[in-house]
Amino acid sequence: MKKLFNPHRAEEFLKRWANLPDDYPPGTEIDDVDYEKRGAFVDKETAILNAEFPDIVLPDSEAFLQETKRLLRGAWTVRDTRVRDWYVYKIREKYHEEHIPAQSTVIALTPAAERDALAQGLHASQQEDRRNEPPPFTTFEQVMFFFQKDRIDSALLCEGPTCSHPYFFRKASRDKCCSEACKLQRHNERKRANWHSVGKLARQKKTAKRRGRPRRIRPEVI
């Protein structure tokens, strides 16, 4: 099996793809969105993705990228193996269908074979639906197969509270964040939450205990 894509580059492609922006900012009312302009940023990011990875032949369709991005994110975040494999399969299937025409491939028969077919009451040609066949081993197919078999367990969602590119691959089993900056933000956020919840209760107990103590009376100095 010829190797077309190295693992590091495959990871970079998958991260860039999963972190593509959505159609419009979260919380935006759909009725108020300018449909002609809402995809401008997405188109720009998609063009950058295609420019960075020209050896992967992606369909020239925003709808394809957005739909498969949703499936990729599902595979990234769900821990159920059966569900993850289904999402990856659907991505591979959609890519395959984009590159294989819907119409069947007609296999022409020789005149003698055609006469035999007609004598047997068969159609004069045979049809083969290529969509039901395994896809060619393209670069895209190899990347998705690599993700499904080797890296899907390492795909995580960054716990950094303000991370703009949360889909990443962990390098160590205890990794929770994609970068040191996100790791620091997570640490500070947890400390802040602890201060307002557990810490608040501890301070209240400490204050109540202090108030319940008998007041110490200092001896008078003669």
How confident is the model over 71-95, as pLDDT tens digits?
Answer: 999 999 999 999 999 999 999 999 9
Mean predicted confidence (pLDDT) in 38-50 = 70
**Per-residue pLDDT at 127 exceeds 70:** no
- 143 located within any domain: yes
Number of domains in the chain: 1
- 180 located within any domain: no
What pLDDT, on the 0 to 100 scale, is given for residue 53?
A: 87
**6-10, 152-156, 180-184, 218-222: which has the minimum mean pLDDT?**
218-222
What's the domain range around 145?
7-104+122-159
Report residue 52's pLDDT band, with 50, 70 and 90 as the boundaries: confident
- 176 located within any domain: no
Q: 64-70, long-range: CB within 8 Å, 24+ apart, which pairs?
A: 64/94, 64/95, 64/98, 65/17, 65/20, 66/20, 66/23, 66/42, 67/94, 68/17, 68/94, 68/95, 69/17, 69/18, 69/20
- 195 located within any domain: no
- 155 located within any domain: yes
- 40 located within any domain: yes
The Cα–Cα gap between 222 and 220 comes to: 6
- 208 located within any domain: no
- pTM, entire model: 0.67
What pLDDT, on the 0 to 100 scale, is given for residue 121?
A: 52
- 132 located within any domain: yes
**Per-residue pLDDT at 147 exceeds 90:** yes
Report residue 37's pLDDT band, with 50, 70 and 90 as the boundaries: low
CB 218 within 8 A of CB 193: no
**Per-residue pLDDT at 96 exceeds 80:** yes
